[in-house]
Amino acid sequence: MKERISVIEGSMAVAEAIRACNPGVISAYPISPQTHIVEYISDFVADGTYKGRFVRVDSEFSAASAVHGASAGGARAYTASSSQGLLLMCEVLYNSASTRLPIVYTGVNRTISAPISIQPDHQDTMALRDTGMIQIHVESLQEAYDAHIQAFRIAEDEDVLLPVMICMDGWTLTHAFEPVKRFSDKDVKEFVGEYKPVQFLNPKNPITYGAFADEDKLMEFKYLMVQAHEKAKEKIVEVASEYKEKFGHYDGGLIDEYRTEDAEIIVLAMGSVVSTVRAAVDELRESGKKVGLVKIRSFRPFPKEAIIKACKNAKLLAVIDKSLSLDVGGILVSDVKTTFYNEDKKPLIASFIAGIGGKEINRKVVKDIVADAEEIAQKGKVEKDSIFVNLNTQFI
Amino acid sequence: MKEIRIHGRGGQGSVVMAEMLAIAAFEAGKYPQAFPYLGGGGERRGAPVQAFARISDKAITLKEKIQNPDFVIVQDTSIMDIVDVFQGIKPGGTIIINSNKDKDEYKVDREDIKIYTVDANKIAIETIGKPIMNTTLLGAFAKITGQISLEALKNTIEERFDGKIAQKNIEAARKAFELVRGDN
């Protein structure tokens, strides 16, 4: 296996992964912090290393539509966007998912206006939560590279056939430089395989996609998507194992557990903050605290069974949310609460809203969260629906 | 692990400086990381920018901003009126300022901080022909900190830029390596 490690930008890691997977059609409209990914792909078009069709468009709506059409026509397709751009795609994304088109997207996480900001949080991809697409959050540049390659395999699996969005925090991951291990385009192509659509729009054999359904079958379409999500849970794990077999390291699966075996408090989080939580857990463990971490990698499908298995013996789960459903609270924590509601044995679940609009979550912030969590665990009762971490009271 | 914070204005190449620092450190067998912070509306020429780099003997997983840098590099002294560039520097830490003034012109109420100055504007304009000082300041950084070698910096510049431009940047870095002055 030919591999090389060098220091590259997160956006380049994604662009190289996409080039190797060789989509027939890529279409995108620039928006920070997604821009570098598409710029690098444009370079590949210019130097001839990407030979597919790059479609320039006038908006994210058009970009999502172009890849929808390309995928329906039987091509492997890819696009990327951020923030308002993802919102503008939203209508098309419901269509693409329900049409069961295996398109791969990068959702470069950035907060939503207003006020305008380019800093990362998870509100944008959360707004796409119910489109039907698979959403996988990554924490490092290496994982971003690995996850994009695996994404095509998951999306195109005949039992799944759903779009996959790889969610990665803008700036923190897209604009960071780190050593990233990559494999030859040839080996990656071999792993991903040639795309053979189950069916596609073809004038010689006319069919129609997503045209019309009455009340006798619309819900049935949605039910089939629910089943596809169940299948995707197996597939996500399976593809990661195959990836390990071929390339030598495991970067995948539904969740990742860290020091959870005897943990009384488990922090649950998604995205780049997971790396910082892991470092904080190490430091807290050194001072004798029984703290663990569960990284939620796959947000949709939501890995209920894996979360229950990993967390059922903890006293308290401290869930970090970088997005908000107003008046209800964190979106991730709501799913975690739902997961445990009908279980006989369930830990206390506390919600920490943090990192909104890019507000810094460093090790100290994580330790403060754990300290609050310990206090709640001691009381044995969660009194506040949500704890907003480091609110700047000057503005309230 | 050593942590570096770079202050500049949008368009001065602070982000590229952090990138080159990481690549040069990797060449020397270290684990590096570099990342920008484009606050205050970011991505505008002239706006205050921070870029960060970490250099370690072990793989770096942290994704938090750098609070207590070992080294600080200031590309543009006009920024010192609006940003506290001395903020959080580790005890015994070092700051390198792009300035034609002597280090004593810069006052800080901490005696442990080592201050160096180098007239990177002059070197860059004379050598490269443009006031882009990032490679020049990296030459000074290499000399003062020993965290990257001049050789690794040369190779990094050659990888990043084409022929003649690369050679001019290498020359500028070399000059700064020789001319930087301060707490020796």
Taking the C-alpha atoms of residue B130 and residue B128, their distance in angstroms, rounded to an integer, is 6
φ, ψ (nearest 5 deg) of residue B134: -65, -45
| CB < 8 Å to B43, chain A | 32, 118
Residue B105 has pLDDT above 60, yes or no: yes
Using a cut of 0.90, tell me whether the model's pTM lies above it.
Answer: yes
pLDDT, tens digit (0-9, with 9 covering 90-100), for A262-284: 999 999 999 999 999 999 999 99
Residue A346 has pLDDT above 90, yes or no: yes
Share of chain B above pLDDT 90, in %: 85
- From the number of C-beta atoms within 10 Å of its C-beta (0-12, 13-18, 19+), residue B69 rates as buried
- From the number of C-beta atoms within 10 Å of its C-beta (0-12, 13-18, 19+), residue A212 rates as exposed
| Inter-chain CB proximity A276 and B22 less than 8 Å | no
Which of B26, B34, B63 is facing A273, going by the closest CB pair?
B63
pLDDT of residue B45: 82
The architecture of the domain spanning A3-247 is: 3-Layer(aba) Sandwich (3.40)
pLDDT, tens digit (0-9, with 9 covering 90-100), for B107-125: 888 999 999 999 999 999 9
pLDDT of residue B183: 61
pLDDT, tens digit (0-9, with 9 covering 90-100), for A20-61: 999 999 999 999 999 999 999 999 999 999 999 999 999 999
Query: Across residues B123-134, what is the average pLDDT?
Result: 94
Residue A74 CA, chain-centre distance (Å), reads 25
| Inter-chain CB proximity B65 and A32 less than 8 Å | no
* CB-based contact A267:A202 (threshold 8 Å): no
Query: In sequence order, what are the beta bridge partners of A267?
Result: A293, A318
Query: Across residues B82-92, what is the average pLDDT?
Result: 95
Query: Across residues A323-335, what is the average pLDDT?
Result: 96
Query: In sequence order, what are the beta bridge partners of A266?
Result: A292, A317
Query: Across residues B131-159, what is the average pLDDT?
Result: 95
Query: Across residues A178-189, what is the average pLDDT?
Result: 96
Taking the C-alpha atoms of residue A255 and residue A129, their distance in angstroms, rounded to an integer, is 18
Residue A78 CA, chain-centre distance (Å), reads 15
Query: Across residues A361-370, what is the average pLDDT?
Result: 98
Query: Across residues B80-95, what is the average pLDDT?
Result: 95
Query: Across residues B160-175, what is the average pLDDT?
Result: 95
Q: Which residue of A has its CA nearest to B34?
A: A177
| Inter-chain CB proximity B26 and A7 less than 8 Å | yes
Domain locations along chain A: 3-247, 255-395
Model ipTM?
A: 0.94
Please report which confidence band the pLDDT of residue A2 belongs to, taking 50, 70 and 90 as the band edges: confident
Task: Write down the H helix ranges in chain A.
Answer: 10-21, 35-46, 60-72, 83-98, 123-126, 141-156, 185-192, 218-247, 273-286, 304-311, 331-341, 363-379
Least confident of A85-89, A103-107, B41-45, B86-90: B41-45
Cα–Cα distances (Å) from A176 to A39, A58, A111, A168, B15, in that order, read 16, 28, 18, 12, 10
What distance separates the 2 farthest-apart alpha carbons in chain B? 45
Neighbouring residues of A139: CB distance < 8 A, sequence distance ≥ 6: A173, A271, A272, A273, A274, A275, A295, B63
- Which tokens is A60 given? 């994210």
Mean pLDDT of chain A, nearest integer: 97
Radius of gyration (C-alpha) of chain B in whole angstroms: 15
Q: Assign residue A28 a region (left: φ > 0; alpha: ψ between -120 and 50; beta: otherwise).
A: beta
| Inter-chain CB proximity B31 and A179 less than 8 Å | yes
Please report which confidence band the pLDDT of residue B44 belongs to, taking 50, 70 and 90 as the band edges: confident
Taking the C-alpha atoms of residue A296 and residue A274, their distance in angstroms, rounded to an integer, is 9
| CB < 8 Å to B37, chain A | 171
Q: Do the domains at A3-247 and A255-395 have one common CATH topology?
A: yes
pLDDT, tens digit (0-9, with 9 covering 90-100), for A295-314: 999 999 999 999 999 999 99
**CATH of span A255-395:** 3.40.50.920
| CB < 8 Å to B19, chain A | 7, 9, 177
Measured between its terminal Cα atoms, the distance across chain A in Å is 57
pLDDT, tens digit (0-9, with 9 covering 90-100), for A65-116: 999 999 999 999 999 999 999 999 999 999 999 999 999 999 999 999 999 9
| Inter-chain CB proximity B62 and A276 less than 8 Å | yes
The architecture of the domain spanning B2-182 is: 3-Layer(aba) Sandwich (3.40)
Q: Assign residue B166 a region (left: φ > 0; alpha: ψ between -120 and 50; beta: otherwise).
A: alpha
Chain B positions with Cβ closer than 8 Å to A = 15, 18-19, 22-23, 26, 31-39, 41-43, 60-65, 67
Please report which confidence band the pLDDT of residue A131 belongs to, taking 50, 70 and 90 as the band edges: very high
Please report which confidence band the pLDDT of residue B42 belongs to, taking 50, 70 and 90 as the band edges: low
- Interface probe, candidates B38, B44, B64, chain A, greatest A C-beta count within 10 A: B64
| CB < 8 Å to A140, chain B | 61
Domain locations along chain B: 2-182
Chain A positions with Cβ closer than 8 Å to B = 6-7, 9, 32, 118-119, 139-140, 171-173, 175-179, 272-273, 275-276, 278-279, 360-363
Taking the C-alpha atoms of residue B82 and residue B48, their distance in angstroms, rounded to an integer, is 9
pLDDT of residue B47: 86
Taking the C-alpha atoms of residue A180 and residue B73, their distance in angstroms, rounded to an integer, is 26
Q: Tokens 């959403």 correspond to what residue?
A: A135
pLDDT of residue B41: 64
